[in-house]
Amino acid sequence: MEKVRVFLIRHGETAGPQGVLYSQKDVPLSERGLFQSRKLVAGLKEIPFTAVYASDLTRAALPASWLAEEKKIPLFLRRELREIDFGSWSGKSFSDLLKIPEFTRRLENPEKISPPGGETLKELQARGLAVLEEMCKRFPGGTVAVFTHGGLIRALLLWALGAGLKNFFRLQQDFAAVNLLDLFPEGPVVRLVNGPFDLNFKLLLERDSEV
């Protein structure tokens, strides 16, 4: 199977109060989030994408649809690319959650403690990997943009780096951050982590080809 290049993209800033676990709630992008997304899509126009995948939540699906329309390529909206299900913690602020002992224990042992009524990091990672596997089979040799969420991106990056989920909180993912993976038959190679949305992506790939 040929290499598949994957741009893992976090959605832009969301509307509403910051510092809230929105989880799988369908929260729209803020004005700044819309700006970040437009700038990002404009910067990706010259990349030879084969397809676009996205979470079906608006904050990820909207910019994905812009890129797919711009490039005239297929768009696949998938529930499996949603943010982690935080269960009963969904919609709560960090300040409120820090008063919950189980939540603070999760910050120390994220792979062992899951949100009440939610999902584990292992479950999150597994559903993301299933989509990557499908992608590789459907688009061998292709370049795919994936618009998704910070939690899922962290889980996939840890898999690509061969690191345990206990390191979940050691990876920063800013709004509209871009990560780049090359998925080879022999295993993944991480090319970029938490790149800014206004990065010159064409120049980045040109430099990569010179190495």
- Predicted confidence (pLDDT) per residue in 41-61, tens digit: 999 999 999 999 999 999 999
Measured CA to CA, the distance from residue 182 to residue 166 in angstroms comes to 24
Predicted pLDDT at 123: 98
Is the domain covering 4-210 a CATH 3.40.50.1240 domain? Answer: yes
Predicted pLDDT at 206: 75
Give me the residues paired with residue 53 across strands: 76, 146
Q: pLDDT category, 208, cuts 50, 70, 90?
A: low
Predicted pLDDT at 205: 80
Q: What is the DSSP letter of 180?
A: E
Predicted pLDDT at 211: 43
**From residue 140, how far is each of 3, 114, 184, 186, 188 by CA, in Å?**
7, 35, 10, 14, 14
Measured CA to CA, the distance from residue 123 to residue 200 in angstroms comes to 34
In 3D space, the residue among 145, 132, 4, 13 whose CA is nearest the CA of residue 66 turns out to be 145
pTM for the full predicted model: 0.95
- Residues 86-120: tens digit of each pLDDT: 999 999 999 999 999 999 999 999 999 999 999 99
Q: Are 182 and 174 in contact (CB under 8 A)?
A: no
- Residues 13-36: tens digit of each pLDDT: 999 898 999 999 999 999 999 999
Q: What is the DSSP string of 18-31?
A: SSB--TTS-PPB-H
Could you give the angle at the alpha carbon of 177 between the alpha carbons of 17 and 205, nearest 5°? 165
Measured CA to CA, the distance from residue 134 to residue 105 in angstroms comes to 35
- Residues 140-165: tens digit of each pLDDT: 999 999 999 999 999 999 999 999 99
Q: How far does Cα 74 stand from its chain's mean position?
A: 19
Strand arrangement of the beta sheet that strand 51-55 belongs to: 75-78, 51-55, 143-148, 4-10, 178-184, 187-195
In this predicted structure, the answer to whether residue 192 has a pLDDT above a threshold of 90 is yes
